Chains A and B, each alone.
Chain A
């Protein structure tokens, strides 16, 4: 990497990569936004957005038009916020955008490939724009195209590529200069299930090399599988942020309970249970089974005792665990605690 562009972002990257030490703590390397406001005419894309994004693989979630891509572009200095500031690896996104961009890889959501060249020419050209010599760029282009799984097709014109191959070339150009920070905007967009699997596998492998990878997506299952930190945005504002495990762990003291029995017994059981615990949610699963979300049941002894007294079977009793979709939906209802 260039020694000319000194910045904490690069220094940190080089230090950890060169020494082979354990990655530095999350708090040591992050991207932070403070009251960022970006408008496009009357539309407010980011509305006082404030967030701290730590090192690691971070999922940027939100519905379409939430402000994810706008935040990425503002972090690269490609958009001028009306107010607020963004720091990337200790550098200001507006006044030091060139230093930031020198150490950032960006895979845009939309099509951005030149169709009249082949993948080797394209990736190599962008590597040279990133400051590599022609010889290094050619060698590295082949290396990253091997990595993303573009074989002999790399010598075909890009216009003949499938959507999946184009996505891989977009990823290859983003990592060709080995950036410390990688923005992946909808990396699996338009890909088939197998292609998605391959792309997620690539993201995991890149993440393992001590980079900060920010994955913007609205496909929650994918984000849950690859990201260890989640930031949820809606209407240009931060809704929730936290470790993925903490977010999906659910609220402390909340248990998921599944009960089976005849309907009269279940009714009696739920009524009795309601007197010792707080029943937060009830879901019918046919005539003979209900699932409950309960809080304040202590060690659970009463749950089993009441089941025995009412003649119902406990099929499942465990701490609540959510999937990211649930977290996402609850975030918009404001029904769960922050995972931080």
Chain B
């Protein structure tokens, strides 16, 4: 231990950040996400393929005001949905699986950390990363379009900005709970990532098969149900076969059900069951 051994020194300070545990985990997940090359590639590529041209267009072309149907068409495409799915799969894959595989889980819960706070931090960090692709670029387009509009109907533009924020939030939130759930099922991040993407992909294929018999089956496809949700958010007319109640139920199933499953799984894990 050297010539002058270092003695144990008790901590004299105060632990004043007891209520910031969620933020600590959230920040850690966000930073970890931004350090990942895969995440950076998906965000940059997704931005250029989906939003860059639109941003340039609204900034340079004359327009009366920000139109809801234009914003809807900006967001409402297969490309964004696929990028969001991929990004969610990559971002959420190691959030819980790595803690399970390294057993660092026990270090978190040997401290005064609630399962609820742990999950909130993990989900919050993932949502922040997702928002870099799904919420912030469309909001940026909406704000630029409003700032550069030639007409004076700013109130309408602001309402569209609000709808854009809502749609962006939905796109951000939509795939994360499912990704977290898959991450809590396995100790391998690759299994979690592939599982998340393939689950959505398989649901889309099933929807495509059954839509031959009844168009309502589109709702079980995550991509289609997200598209319908955007239409609804921007005040567009939904197809006659699509009931709003059914759509809301499926949206809740995609978001709430995985969140409940992962919460109970983590709670049971935290108390050693």
Give chain A's interface residues, CB within 8 Å of chain B.
1-5, 17, 73, 76-80, 98-99, 101-102, 104-106, 108, 110-116, 125-126, 128-133, 136, 140, 143, 146-147, 149, 173, 175, 177-178, 198, 201-202, 205-206, 208-209
Stretch in B15-23, B73-81, B197-205 with 4+ CB within 8 Å of A:
B15-23
B residues within 8 A CB of A116?
A: 98
Judge if B158 is at the interface, Cβ distance under 8 Å. Answer: no
Looking across the interface, which residue of chain B has its beta carbon closest to that of A76? Answer: B110
Chain B positions 108-158 with a Cβ under 8 Å from a chain A Cβ: 108-114
Q: How far is the CA of A101 from the CA of B271 in the complex (A)?
A: 13
A1 touches B8 (CB 8 A): no
Residues B6 and A98 in contact, CB atoms below 8 Å apart: no
27 residue pairs A–B, Cβ–Cβ below 8 Å:
A2-B14, A4-B18, A73-B272, A78-B110, A78-B270, A79-B271, A80-B271, A99-B112, A106-B107, A106-B110, A110-B103, A111-B102, A113-B104, A114-B98, A114-B102, A125-B28, A126-B107, A129-B111, A129-B113, A130-B15, A131-B20, A132-B13, A132-B15, A132-B17, A133-B17, A201-B5, A209-B10
On whether A178 and B10 interact (CB within 8 A), knowing A106-B110, A149-B1, the answer reads: yes
Counting CB contacts under 8 A, is B180 at the interface?
no
How many angstroms from the CA of A143 to the CA of B7 in the assembled complex? 10
Knowing A2-B15, A98-B112, A132-B17, say if A78 contacts B106 (CB, 8 Å).
yes
Q: Please give me the residue from chain B that is nearest to A205 by CB atom.
A: B8
Whether A80 and B273, one on each chain, are in contact in the complex, defined by CB atoms closer than 8 angstroms, is yes
Number of interface residues of B (CB under 8 A): 37
Q: If A101-B111, A113-B104, A177-B15 touch, does A128 touch B271 (CB 8 Å cutoff)?
A: no
Instruction: Let me know if B11 and A131 touch, CB within 8 A.
Output: no
Chain B residues in the interface with A (C-beta under 8 A): 1, 5-11, 13-18, 20-21, 24-25, 28, 98, 102-114, 270-273
Count: A-B pairs, CB below 8 Å:
121
Residue of A5, A80, A175, A178 ringed by the most chain B CB atoms within 10 A:
A178
Determine if A1 and B112 form an interchain contact, defined as CB atoms under 8 angstroms apart: no
What residues of A have a CB within 8 angstroms of the CB of B113 in the complex?
101, 129
Residue contact B103 to A108, C-beta cutoff 8 Å? yes
CB distance from B13 to the nearest CB of A (A): 5
The listed residue (A3, A17, A205) touching B14 by CB distance below 8 A is A3
Instruction: Identify B8's interface contact among A78, A80, A175, CB under 8 A.
Output: A175
Q: List residues of chain A with CB within 8 A of the CB of B104.
A: 112-114
Instruction: Point out the residues of chain B lying under 8 angstroms from A126, CB to CB.
Output: 107, 111
Among residues of B, the one whose C-beta sits closest to the C-beta of A175 is B8
- Besides A4-B18, A101-B111, 19 more A-B contacts (Cβ < 8 Å) are A1-B14, A5-B18, A17-B10, A78-B106, A78-B110, A78-B270, A108-B103, A108-B106, A113-B104, A126-B107, A128-B17, A130-B15, A131-B17, A132-B13, A140-B11, A140-B13, A147-B6, A198-B1, A209-B8
Bound CA–CA A101/B107 (angstroms) = 11
